[in-house]
Structure 1
Amino acid sequence: MGTIEKLKILSNDSQYDLACACGTGKDDRRRRGLDGKWLYPVTLPNGGYSILLKTLLSNVCSNDCKYCPLRSETNVRRCTLQPDEVANIFMEYVRRKKVFGLFLSSGVIRDPDYTMDRINAAARILRYKHNYKGYIHLKVIPGASDAAIEDSISLASAVSLNIETPGKKHFDILSTKKDYINDIVRPLKLMSKLTAQGMKYSRVKCTTQFIVGASDETDSEIIQYMFKLYNHLKFQRVYFSAYQKGLGHPDIPGEKQILSNPNNIFMREHRLYQSDYLIRKYGFSYDDILFDPFGNLRLDKDPKDVWAERHPEFFPVKLNSADREELLRVPGIGIKTAEIILKTRRARKISSFEDLGIKGKRAEKVRKYVIFE
């Protein structure tokens, strides 16, 4: 196969990683480029968005991850790009100003360290042959050695490794070849250590991702682990990828689950992202995220609305005197609106929603929880 034909196959196979598929705004979602390649959004350091070229180095894989359609037992068209092919293709995109950066992952060729050597070689060519100074996100392969991981971090702007499930019990349902403690937890801890504040690679961002719904985990378990990733390992972001029924092994829970609505799994992913946002941006604690008797988030309601309904004693919030944290507990008031409220009332008393630009259904929602004292 020629380079372009291989890229089409490998870029298409990267679609199974559905991070950013269910963003709340048009700039948050992945999309296809005109040539069929998947382009992913990234937040720029100075604000705004640009896009990443996302591809696999190879769809050859020796692992047996039962949720993955590229696992070793499946019959798919396999191919591998050489490191210099990846670098040359990407630099052509850069010269044409089509992308902001590169997101490079891979199936496991031979073994984790051989694969990491190929991934790191592509990044090294970009950094030292093409003198590329921009954004490179590299996926760490489960089971990679400490040396391979540090080499990757030395070349990247960001690194990630999928945690996949909240704990070994759920993980073992999905793989017999990978060891959760050694292949997943150990590398995540090392990534955290090497990029900690004050360390040599503190500029490098670390992220991870859960595969939601392939195993039998609950939302409460995912969110417990998410808190550990943020508070103990200091990861910058946690992502969620909804398992797509029909792609995995028929024996896993995600295939056996009977869904009354096939879109429920994507709504579950969306509710997890909303909970993540409440935790990262709004100051919610684990106890503030409320679950049903089975340990899952409600699909029919935003988790912020659920909290407000369960805490009537907190309301009404006084718009002219409440602090930022109190304002952010009000359904319908987000970060931008809270800042507008704080800025406006420094100049004058707020007496109506028109003062804040809150209109229509959002105004009706906010009105239930606030007063103009």
Structure 2
Amino acid sequence: MTDSDLLTPYRLGPLTLANRMVMAPMTRFRAEEDGTPSPIVADYYAQRAGAGLIVTEGIWPSARGQSEWRIPGLETRKHVQGWREVTDAVHAEGGVIFAQLMHGGRKGHPRSRLTGDLPSGPSAVRAPGPVHVKDGKADAIVPLAMTTADIRQTVLDHGAAARNAIEAGFDGVELHGANSYLIHQFLADNTNLRDDEYGRGAIADRIRFAVEVTTAVADAIGAGRTALRLSPGNPQFGMVEHDPAPVYRALVAALRDVGLGYLHVTDADRYAALADLRALWPGTLIGNVGENREPTTEKAARAVLAEGTADLVSFGRAFIANPDLPARFAQGAPLAAIDETHLYAHGGAGYTDYPAWREVAVAEGR
């Protein structure tokens, strides 16, 4: 398609997206304690089905990857049934929805995990700062270093969870390789201190896990229904990448011929990843320019499309308080502000109670 306006349709493989606006994955802690999405999760995503594409909050592929309490899973029959209610609700509104699989790696705590055990990551390196647990917050703990057998099992877990996602009615799966979670931990300098084929000093070893997980999911559900999110150089939660460009160029080159549905890349001030990786990626590229910055605006999103550094643009915080965000842009309507006090609560307040603009206009007599 030649018309890259933000509100024009876009063809993503067999899927037709209503516009080029993507709802970015955002953790909201609305799952039941066993990881099943609560009934209000279906309402939340259905309200936002006007996005060209919805990417869910991060979902753990197995209990071994659970990072925090009330994060949803995609491991059990109950999980699949719960997510089927979500996907049915979104599809009934004409939306498209991908599940984001998010293994916490070192991020986690025995008091935030159903298994009650220690989390594990590439190396035994503690994450900074407190972590969310069942009864509040706690200091981070030193994780276990994954064995080669652990890594192989984790790859299998992702394939199984991806198959569960398709059974649950998702249109595809996005792997969370960003923002300090497991795949990112293998890529970063300070969280991967391994001396085997998944570490050492060579870039080929550092990207091996990301390539194996991505290709395993592509084999399980089809490459066109598989996607990967990356945040090169993102320092969140103590991540250190001294020179991200060579690592991510190698990773993109290793995956470019797999036929993935899309690549989702977060830009950074220190490393202009979108501009650098665009030339290396032949398929659909989703750009995110709001991470660690002010929330993405309509103007900023249109600029990304005009520059050609991405085909679609993801919005995070703007979609929380504005469930009808594309319609608001189309009408030039003002945007609502987020209720910060309920971002990480467990009920409908600050989650499903944000009105659409048409409701606000009627109430105000506009």
Measured against the shorter chain, the TM-score band is 0.3 to 0.5
**Structure-2-length-normalised TM-score:** 0.44
RCO higher in structure (CA 8 A, sep ≥6): 2
**Structure-1-length-normalised TM-score:** 0.44
